[in-house]
């Protein structure tokens, strides 16, 4: 694991140092086209490095128990709308249509943490979807007699009913079947070259899994190559929230 972390940190750091060295030595002029591009690359690398460090610190705090959940009753529809609004600019820039569908169910959750999960999943869906496609964010109540309760192959253990099923669906290129479980491990990416182009770190989904499991839920992905991917997670609904 340490070698993976070192590699992930070294990549943006090397790019950042290389660009600054060129500018400092006078090899290129800062106001030239090449100089401006070098500054842009250095800036992008510094932001990537900052995000990576924050991800590492975040997941270590979570696993050490330093960050504890602060649960309260929340309206999931309001939460979904809040996240979608915050991601709308990113979607617009990528020429992606963002659609929401869900009922105003009450759930006992740490709102900030579930916002973190939704933001990560939506961000990934937008980044890896082609221009002109649609990303969906949906929620539904799954009860004992519902068809959905028997049609969730991603559920690996028995999940108490009822529960809230939240999904983020995209029209991207899809994920190979043998990668669907691995992507939730730390520093795992479907395609490292493509993930680097899209500024992926391989840590976001690991954090999502941990946060969902801390809420007593499960998270998984389903995908068809060439058609897109769907990320699902469940949140238990307590008697007090029904």
Model pTM greater than 0.85?
Answer: no
Domain spanning 2-64 has what CATH number? 1.10.287.130
pLDDT at 98 (0 to 100)? 95
**Minimum mean pLDDT range among 61-70, 143-152, 173-182:** 143-152
Domain spanning 72-241 has what CATH number? 3.30.565.10
Distance separating alpha carbons of residues 194 and 196, to the nearest angstrom = 5
Residue 109 has pLDDT above 90, yes or no: yes
Q: Where exactly are the structural domains of the chain?
A: 2-64, 72-241
Q: Which residue has the higher pLDDT, 3 or 211?
A: 211
Distance separating alpha carbons of residues 127 and 233, to the nearest angstrom = 20
Q: Which residue has the higher pLDDT, 175 or 156?
A: 175
Distance separating alpha carbons of residues 160 and 215, to the nearest angstrom = 13
């Amino acid at each position: 694991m340490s070698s993976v972390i070192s590699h992930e940190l070294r990549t943006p750091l090397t790019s950042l140092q290389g660009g600054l060295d060129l500018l400092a030595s006078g090899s290129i002029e800062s106001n030239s086209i090449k100089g401006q591009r070098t500054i842009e690359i250095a800036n992008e690398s510094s932001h990537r490095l900052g995000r990576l460090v924050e991800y590492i610190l975040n997941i270590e705090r979570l696993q050490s128990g330093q960050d504890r959940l602060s649960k309260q009753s929340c309206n999931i529809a309001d939460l979904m709308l809040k996240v979608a609004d915050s991601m709308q600019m990113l979607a617009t820039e990528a020429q992606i249509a963002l659609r929401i569908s869900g009922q105003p169910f009450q759930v006992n959750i740490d709102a900030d943490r579930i916002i973190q999960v939704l933001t990560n999943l939506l961000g990934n869906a937008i980044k890896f979807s082609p221009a002109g496609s649609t990303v969906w964010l949906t929620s539904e109540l799954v009860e004992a007699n519902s068809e959905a309760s028997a049609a969730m192959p991603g559920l690996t253990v028995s999940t108490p009913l009822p529960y809230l099923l939240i999904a983020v669906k995209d029209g991207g290129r899809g994920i190979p079947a043998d990668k669907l479980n691995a992507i939730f491990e730390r520093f795992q990416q479907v395609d490292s070259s493509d993930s680097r182009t899209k500024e992926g770190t391989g840590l976001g989904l690991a954090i999502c899994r941990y946060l969902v499991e801390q809420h007593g839920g499960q998270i998984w992905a389903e995908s068809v190559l060439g058609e897109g991917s769907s990320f699902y997670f469940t949140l238990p609904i307590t008697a007090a929230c029904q």
